[in-house]
Structure 1
Amino acid sequence: MAMSNNVIGCINFVAVILSIPIIGAGIWLLNGEADSCVQFLQWPVIILGVLILVVALAGFIGAFFRVSWLLIVYLVAMLVLVILLVSLVAFVYMVTLRGHGNIEPNRAYLEYRMDDFSGYLRRRVRSSFKWDRIRSCLSQTNMCAELNQGYRMAQDFFNARLTPMQSGCCKPPTQCAYTFVNPTYWISPINTAADMDCLQWSNDQTQLCYNCDSCKAGLLANLRKEWRRANVILIITVIVLIIVYLVGCCAFRNAKTEDLFRKYKQGYT
């Protein structure tokens, strides 16, 4: 029984360690370029990570002090948390499956359109109430001002590898055929009817294309990239966590079997 408890304790210690990358992924999302303005996935990830940490510590204490009921609570609670984590991983994978950028002639950067993304992500930015708050957050960043410092010539800008949000929010859509003056100042639109965003563009440095659908799409593209990166961490962690949980179940079962066999021998003698 002592040997089995030691094994269970070691397994729970591994589970404690596995909670760290989950919490870390949530904290990383809090500081993401897009996630800092759209806070949704971060807190479920952080909360799940903290709950896994607490439950794993409870299991470790139960194994160390040989508290059987605490180990049973650990096994049940950890099963629920693993199921929730698997569900979250599957959810993130499904909602980020779509959303690739579109290539424009003579441009190194990509253009993004709302229809390219899943309905769930589009609903995060569709209402004016939600977007007003997000737009206010975006306008306080330096992502557009940095472009003016880095690109003076039109061709240099056209060959730039812009982030999705810079492409969607800091300049008019390419199909509008505005004339480049600097990255955030454009004149002489040739085809304002090409897209409603062509009419939304403003040279006012506090407005730019923050009201454009292209800006919303760029935000979703950044969001999609950050979520997919975080999901890689979650996938690896949940696979290891499942293995650890199954080994822990086997160790607990063996411990109970040893305990029953010991009591049987004592009763027989």
Structure 2
Amino acid sequence: MVRCSNGLLGLLNACVLVLAIVTLGGGAWLSHRASTTDCERFLERPIIALGVLLLALSLAGLAGSLCRASCLLWLYLLALFLLIVLLFAFTIFAFVVTNRGAGWVVSGRGYKEYRLGDYSTWLQRRVENSENWAKIRSCLQDGKVCEKLGARKETLSSSSTPTSPRSRLNSASAMRDRGTGSSVTAHGSGCCKPPTGCNFIYQSEIVWMKPNGFNGTEDPDCNTWSNDQTALCYDCTSCKAGVLANLKNSWKKIATVNIIFLVFLIVVYSVGCCAFRNNRQDNSYPAWK
């Protein structure tokens, strides 16, 4: 049993070691990419930090299990326990703050629009912070979200030869429903076009004209909209809501992955506890026995 628990712990930590090397390699690759944007650079440090943490944990676990170093194994189990607690807390937090909020389908158009007030107060405060939003806005522009959305819709429109703006929008929503460009759906709806209630005149996917005599509406996003391709609706509340819609989906996926990872860590922790107990029992007997 002693050999089994130590050997199994060593095997599990060998798998974590491989994962750590892959994570560090991904961080290094990202940092040396010539075309890396500021948003991608933001991911560099967390990815590298995660890789270093996994590397340290796996090496400590390997040394503690294979060399039967009880002190090192105790430190390893303590760090692993803290990691489990932090991941559990983050998973619960992610599900709580993303529990609210969903887009509503525009009648007859087939696409969704988003309202900032539908999301949790904590998320609203994050995007309403001017410093945070400046960074997010820069990421949206660097990622050419609206340009890509417009290009995809124009490609679909030319292939299906729609006869009206409405049919072009319906064709675009059909493209979205088939999964093409789904990653920019919320951004595109909130940031790349004015809200439907503004009743602006369609010119192209990212060009909309204000009707003659337009004196503003109750919706401030109608006044914020600009045909300047560097502005569009990037400062609209609908854009911030679209960002939160994508963020909500991403966090739920991350939380789901965290649950799987937590189960794995709990198994490793349980095996580690067995190995630690067995090591102490072995070390408690004199060598001549």
What is the TM-score when the length of structure 2 is the normalising length?
Answer: 0.76
Counterpart in the other structure of 1:71: 73
Aligned length: 258
Cα-to-partner distance string for 1:151-189 (whole Å, 9 max, x where unaligned)? 355222244236100100000001111121111111244
1:238 matched to 2:262: yes
Structure 1 pair 65/36, CA: closer, same or farther in 2 (3 Å)? same
Number of the residue aligned with 1:206: 230
1:265: Cα distance to partner? 8.1
**Residue 215 (str. 1) matches residue 239 (str. 2):** yes
| One-letter amino acid of the counterpart of residue 125, structure 1 | V
Q: Per-residue CA shift, 1:186-224, capped at 9, x if unaligned?
A: 124479414110111111111111110001111111111
Q: Which range moves more in the overlay, 43-52 or 208-217?
A: 43-52
1:111, 1:173 within 8 Å by CA — same for their partners in 2? yes
Q: Distance in 2 between matches of 1:23 and 1:106?
A: 48
User: Where do 1:47-126 residues align within 5 Å?
Assistant: 47-48=49-50, 50-126=52-128
Q: Does 1:263 align with 2:265?
A: no
In the TM superposition, what is the alpha-carbon distance from 1:91 to its structure 2 partner?
1.6
Aligned residue type for 1:124: R
Corresponding residue for residue 186 of structure 2: 164
**Residue 5 of structure 1 corresponds to which residue in structure 2?**
6
Q: Distance in 2 between matches of 1:37 and 1:171?
A: 25
SS in 2 for 1:203: coil
Residue 144 of structure 1: SS of its match in structure 2? helix
Listed as ranges, the gaps of 5+ residues in structure 1 are none
Cα distance, 1:22 vs structure 2: 8.2
Residues 131-210 of structure 1 mapped to structure 2, 5 A cutoff: 131-149=133-151, 150-151=153-154, 152=157, 153-154=164-165, 155-159=167-171, 160=173, 161=176, 163-189=185-211, 192-210=216-234
Q: 1:3 to 1:143 in 2, by over 3 A?
A: closer
SS in 2 for 1:186: strand
Q: Which amino acid aligns with 1:255?
A: N
Identical aligned residues as a percent: 41
**Alpha carbons 1:22, 1:237 under 8 Å: kept:** no
Distance in 1, Cα, partners of 2:192 & 2:131: 21
* 1:23-62 equivalent positions in 2, closer than 5 A: 36=39, 47-48=49-50, 50-62=52-64
CA distance in structure 2 between the partners assigned to 1:125 and 1:4 by the alignment: 48
